[in-house]
Amino acid sequence: MIRGADQLTLVAPALATSAPLADIAGTDSPAAPPPRADAIADRGPDAAAQATRAAVWVSTVPGGPTGVAASLQPIAPRAPLLRPPALVKGDSIGVVAPSYAPRPGWLTRGVKALERLGYGVILDPELGTLRRFQRAEDERRAENFMGLWLDPNVKAVIGGTGGYGAMRMLPHLEPEIFRLNPKAFVGYSDVTALHLWLMRRAGLRVFHGPTVDDLIPSARDPTMASLLAALTTARPAARMGREIARVVRPGRAVGRLTGGNLSLVQQSIGTPYEIDTRDAILFLEETRDPMSVADERLVHLRAAGLLRHVRGVVFGQLSLDRSEEDEFEDFLTDLLADLDIPILADFPAGHELPNLTLPLGTEVELVAEEQTGWLVYREDALS
For residues 90 and 129, the model is more confident at: 90
How many Cβ atoms are within 10 Å of 52's Cβ, its own excluded? 12
At residue 137, what is the residue type? E
With a cut of 60, say whether residue 24 has pLDDT above it.
no
With a cut of 80, say whether residue 7 has pLDDT above it.
no
pLDDT at 89: 95
CA angle 137, 143, 146 (to 5 degrees): 140
CB 178 within 8 A of CB 333: no
CA angle 350, 259, 222 (to 5 degrees): 30
d(CA 126, CA 363): 35
Topology at the third CATH level for domain 92-232 = Rossmann fold (3.40.50)
Report the percent of the chain where pLDDT is more than 90: 61
Helices 325-335 and 291-303: angle between axes, nearest 10 degrees: 10
d(CA 349, CA 257): 13
* Total H helices, total E strands in the chain: 14, 13
Alpha helices, H only, the chain:
4-8, 21-25, 37-42, 45-60, 67-72, 104-116, 135-150, 166-169, 175-179, 192-201, 222-232, 262-267, 291-303, 325-335
All residues at 6 or more sequence positions from 134 whose CB lies less than 8 Å from its CB, including other chains: none
pLDDT band at 287 (very low <50, low <70, confident <90, very high): confident
CATH 3.50.30.60 residue window(s) in the chain: 246-377
CB 365 within 8 A of CB 241: no
Question: What is the Cβ-side half-sphere exposure of residue 125, based on CA atoms within 13 angstroms?
Answer: 12
Instruction: Decide which of 1.10.10.10, 3.30.70.980, 3.40.50.12780, 3.50.30.60 is the CATH code for 246-377.
Output: 3.50.30.60
Average pLDDT over residues 123-140: 86
CB 371 within 8 A of CB 346: no
| Lowest-pLDDT choice from 44-58, 93-107, 275-289 | 44-58
CATH 3.40.50.10740 residue window(s) in the chain: 92-232
All residues at 6 or more sequence positions from 20 whose CB lies less than 8 Å from its CB, including other chains: none
To the question of pTM greater than 0.85 for the whole model, the response is no
d(CA 70, CA 270): 25
For residues 333 and 313, the model is more confident at: 313
All residues at 6 or more sequence positions from 34 whose CB lies less than 8 Å from its CB, including other chains: none
d(CA 242, CA 376): 10
pLDDT band at 321 (very low <50, low <70, confident <90, very high): low
CB 160 within 8 A of CB 121: no
pLDDT band at 77 (very low <50, low <70, confident <90, very high): low
